[in-house]
Amino acid sequence: MNKNLISIRDTSTEDIDLIIKTALSFKEVLGRDIKKVPTLRGKTAVNLFFEPSTRTKTSFELAQKRLSTDVINFTVPTSSVVKGESLFDTIRTIEAYGVDFIIIRHASSGVPYLVSRFARASIINAGDGINEHPTQALLDAFTIIEKKGAIAGLKIAIIGDIFHSRVAKSNIYCLTRLGAKVRLIAPKTFLPKGIENEDVEIYNDLNMGISGVDVIMVLRIQKERQGSGFFSTPEEYFRFWGLTRKKMAAAAPDVIVMHPGPMNRGIEIASSVADSEHSVIYDQVLNGLAIRMAVLYLLSGARP
Amino acid sequence: MDIILKNGHIVDPSSGLDSIGHVVIQGGKIKKITALPHELQNELQISPQTQVIDAEGLYVFPGFVDMHVHLRDPGYTHKETIASGSQAGVKGGFTTLCCMPNTNPPNDNETITRYIVQKGLSEGACNVWPIGAITKRQEGKELSEMGIMKDSGCVAFSDDGHTVTNSLVMRRALEYSMVFDVPIISHAEDIWLAEGGVMNEGRLSTLLGLNGIPAEAEVIMIKRDIELAALTGGRLHIAHVSTAGGVKAIREAKSIGINVTAETTPHYLHITEDCVDGYNTLAKVNPPLRGKKDVEAIRDALRDGTIDCIATDHAPHHMDDKECEFDMAAFGISGLETALALGLRLVEEGVLSLSALIEKMTVKPSNILKLGKGTLKEGAEADIIVVDINRDFTVDMESLVSKGKNTPFHGWHLKGICVLTIVGGQMRYNQLGGSL
C-alpha cells in the first residue's frame, strides 16, 4: 500500500482488492459486542474538513475510535482558515503536532494531492471538489461484492449528476477496473466532457439505461444546480431521471439500489424505492465504517 | 555614448537585411549599417570616443517589442514593478513593453496613463508604453477618454482580463477608436461559457475534476469581434489566441479583407494542457493551455501570417498566489525571460525561419501599434539586441529577474541568450564576456 489514499485513479487494483478484503475482517469486528480494537493505539488522526460533512466525518471518526486512534476534528468555522491562513500553512501547523493521519475534505479538486506532496502524515482524501471520493467508491464496491458475490460482469447503472459528483468519478474508475459494465444515465448537462473515453456506456434515457442492470447507484441532486442551467425543475427531473418502482421494473429482478446520501426523496429517488427490499443504503453506511477502518489500518503500514 | 557593433550577423526584417555587418550608433540613433571596413574607420575618426563592441559570432536584432505585458504598477507592486518588469524585459531582449491596464486603479484615465509613462521614463530599463482601458474601471459599460489618454501616451486600448461583453459597447469602442487611429485589443472570452473554469475543458479536466473552459469560449468572442470589425472598419487586434477555432476564424476574416490582427504567446506555441496534470498551478493561465491540435494550428497560423506576432502576456504573480489550491491560484505566466529562447526553439523545430521569428517579435507588433520600433533602419532609435543563439541554459524560476517566478518552463533546457540590450543608444543590459 502507498502511504496515502488520494484517488482511485492512482490506486492499483491489487490495493483495491486488499482494502476490500481487509474491510471484510473489520466488518466482523463491528458485529462483536465489544467493537473497539487496540490496533492503532497511540496513533493520531486529524479530520480536516473544509466543507460541511456529517456522514463521512462521522464515519471516519467512528472508524478511528474503533481502532483506538486519537482523534482531532478540525472544521472550517472553528479554524483559523477563516482568519485568512493559507491551506498549506494550516497543514504545516497540524503536522507540527506529529499526527499520523490527515483526512481531508476540500471544495477544491486536487487539494489532498497537493498536500500529500509535502506532508509527512498519511493523507486520506475524504472528497475533493468534483474530483474523487475514494473511500465512498471502496465502500460501494465492498457492498456490491457483499450482495452480489463479485463485481466482474455486473451491469451497474449510475444515475444523475455525474458532472459534479466525486462519488460517481471514483465509482467509475473503481467499478470499470473491477470488471463491471458501467452505464451512466444522465441528462447531457450532467455528463462531463470526455467521460465517454472511460470504459462506460452513456444513456440519456433512464428507461433504456436501467434495462437489465444488477446495480443502480442513484446520485444526489443538489437543488442549487437548478437555475444554473443543469436541469429545469426538480419535478421534471423526477419525471425523467427520478428512480421509481415502475421504472425499476426494467432492471434485473434482484437489482440492488444504492445512494451515497443524503437522499432527496421525490427528486432523484422515490420513497417506494429508497425503502424497498432492493435498497442497500444502510448496508453502505456500516460498510463505510469497515472500509475506513481498513484504509487507516493499511495506510499505517500494517499487513493483514 | 556612441557605439559601433562590429561583425555581428545582422537580421532586420524591416529592411530585409540578413548578413554580417556593422551597426553605427550615434546620438542614440542608428546612423548607419555597413559592411565596409573603411566606413568604420571614417566613423571612428569622426567620433573617436566611440565604443567598439565585437559581435563576431553573435546575432544583432532590433530590440523586441512586446505588445502585451502586465507590469502590475500601480497597485500590485508585490507582483512586479515597472523597474523589475522592464529589467526582466531587457534581459529577455525586449526594448519596448506595452503594459495592460488591469492595474489598481486601472489605467482608465489620463492620470494613471501619465503615472505609468513617467515611471517608465524614470525607472524603466526600456521603453514602456501603456495600453489604456476601453471602458471605465474595465466594466464594459462607459468608454474611457481614449483621445486624452492617447495624447498622454496610450498606444492601444483593451479591457484585457475582461471581455467587453456588451456588443454595442464593443461596436462603439471600435468606431470611436478609429477617430484616434488606435487599435482595440480584444481579450476574447465568453465569460458565461468560461464561468468557473480553471483549465481547458476536455478529458483531462474531467480526470482532474477541474472545471473546464471550452475552446468555444474564445472562438465565439473572436467571431463576434470580427463581425464588429467588419461592421465598423475599426482596428481590431485579438490578444493571446490559443485555439484552432480562433485561428480559423481569423484566417477567414483576413482572407476577405477584414481589418484584424492577432498575437499568440510562447506558451500556446510550446505546451499543452498536459502541463496542468498534477494540479500544477504554474501552468494555470487564461486562456488556458489547450491540446496538441491547437498548438499545431497556432504554429501553422504563425507561419502563414494569420497570427501576426508573438507577445508574452507576461503575467507575473507572487508565489503566494500560486502555491495554493488550483481553483484559487492566479492565472498567468511570467514570460519575458523565456520568450527569446522559446522563439528560437521554433526556428530549430522548423516552424519559422530566423528572420520570420524576429519579424514577429519586432516590426510586426510595432506596426500593429504604429510605434515605429522594431527596426534597424537608419535614423531609427537605437533599440538593438545582441544574441548568442547557441548558448544553452536551464530555465530556473528562482533566477528570473522578474518578481514573478511563475514559469511552467522551469527546468527546460533552452538555447539562445540575449547578451547585450541597447535602448535608445544606452546599454541597459550587458552580459558580453560576462558570466550569467
Judge whether residue A304 has pLDDT over 70. no
Looking at residues B414-425, what average pLDDT do you find?
98
- Are A145 and A276 found together in one domain? yes
CATH, residue A235 = 3.40.50.1370
Is the pLDDT reported for residue A78 higher than 60?
A: no
Residue A86 pLDDT level (bands cut at 50, 70, 90)? confident
Residue A263 lies in a domain: yes
- Interface residue B392 vs chain A (CB under 8 A): no
Task: Tell me whether 0.95 is exceeded by the ipTM.
Answer: no
Q: Are residues A141 and A47 in the same domain?
A: no
Taking CB atoms and an 8 Å limit, are A129 and B202 in contact across chains?
no
Among A212-226, B206-220, B301-315, which is the least confidently predicted range? Answer: A212-226
Residue-level pLDDT at B436: 40
Give the integer Cα–Cα distance in Å for B364 and B157.
Answer: 18
How many domains, chain B? 2
Q: What is the pLDDT of residue B187?
A: 98
Any idea which residue has 567620433 for its cell? Answer: B47
What's the pLDDT band for A81 if we cut at 50, 70, 90?
low
Whether B356 shows a pLDDT value over 50: the answer reads yes
Residue % of chain A over a pLDDT of 70: 97
Nearest to B428 by CA among B381, B392, B395: B381
**What band does B435 get if pLDDT is binned at 50, 70 and 90?**
very low
Percent of chain A at pLDDT > 90 equals: 88
A interface with B, Cβ–Cβ < 8 A, is 9, 86-88, 106-111, 113-114, 128-132, 166, 169, 192-195, 197
Task: Return residues 216-275 of B near A (CB < 8 Å).
Answer: none
Q: What is the DSSP letter of A269?
A: B
Both A47 and A95 in one domain: the answer is yes
Q: How far apart are CA A67 and CA A45, in angstroms?
A: 11
Q: Which domain holds residue B122?
A: 63-369
pLDDT at A152: 98
Residues B259 and B361 both lie in one domain: yes
Instruction: Please report which confidence band the pLDDT of residue B131 belongs to, taking 50, 70 and 90 as the band edges.
Output: very high
The mean pLDDT value for B174-186 works out to 98
CA distances from B367 to A30, B204, B254, B308, B332 (A): 76, 39, 17, 10, 26
Instruction: Supply the DSSP symbol for B99.
Output: E
Identify whether B300 is a catalytic site residue: no
Average pLDDT over chain B reads 97
Rounded to an integer, what distance in angstroms lies between the CA atom of residue B410 and that of residue B9?
Answer: 30
Positions of E strands within B27-174: 29-34, 51-54, 59-62, 64-69, 94-99, 127-132, 156-158
The residue with greater pLDDT, B255 or A84, is: B255
Q: Does B200 touch chain A (CB under 8 A)?
A: no
pLDDT at B22 over 70: yes
Direct distance between the N- and C-terminal alpha carbons of chain B, in angstroms, rounded to an integer = 25
Residue B189, pLDDT score: 98
B11 and B97 part of one domain: no
Find where cell 497543514 sits.
Answer: A91
Judge whether B136 and B142 are in contact, CB under 8 Å.
yes
**What's the pLDDT at A83?**
58
Say how many CB pairs under 8 Å bridge A and B: 63
Do A130 and B325 lie within an 8 Å CB cutoff? no
- Alpha carbon A285 to chain centroid, angstroms: 11
Shortest alpha-carbon distance between residue B210 and chain A (Å): 6
Indicate if B19 and B93 belong to the same structural domain. Answer: no
In this predicted model, which residue has the larger pLDDT, B436 or A292?
A292
Predicted confidence (pLDDT) per residue in B234-243, tens digit: 999 999 999 9
Which residue of chain A comes nearest to B207, CA vs CA? A131
Is the domain of A148 the same as that of A236? yes
pTM of the model: 0.95
Does B302 map to a domain? yes
Same domain, A294 and A271: no
Q: Is residue A5 part of a domain?
A: no
Nearest CB among B202, B209, B214 relative to A130 is that of B209
Selected catalytic residue, list B308, B313, B321, B383: B313
Could you give the C-alpha distances from B97 to A64, B130, B241, B384, B436, in angstroms and in order? Answer: 58, 8, 19, 14, 23
Give B368-412 pLDDT, tens digit per residue: 999 999 999 999 999 999 999 999 999 999 999 999 999 999 999
CATH number, residue B312: 3.20.20.140
Does the pLDDT of residue B144 top 90, yes or no? yes
C-alpha cell at B260: 484584424
Could you tell me the CATH number of the domain that includes residue B10?
A: 2.30.40.10
What pLDDT is recorded for position A219? 97
Range of the domain at A74: 13-132+285-299
- Mean pLDDT along residues B280-305: 98
| CA-based nearest residue in chain A for residue B323 | A88
- Residue-wise pLDDT for A146-179, tens only, equals 999 999 999 999 999 999 999 999 999 999 999 9
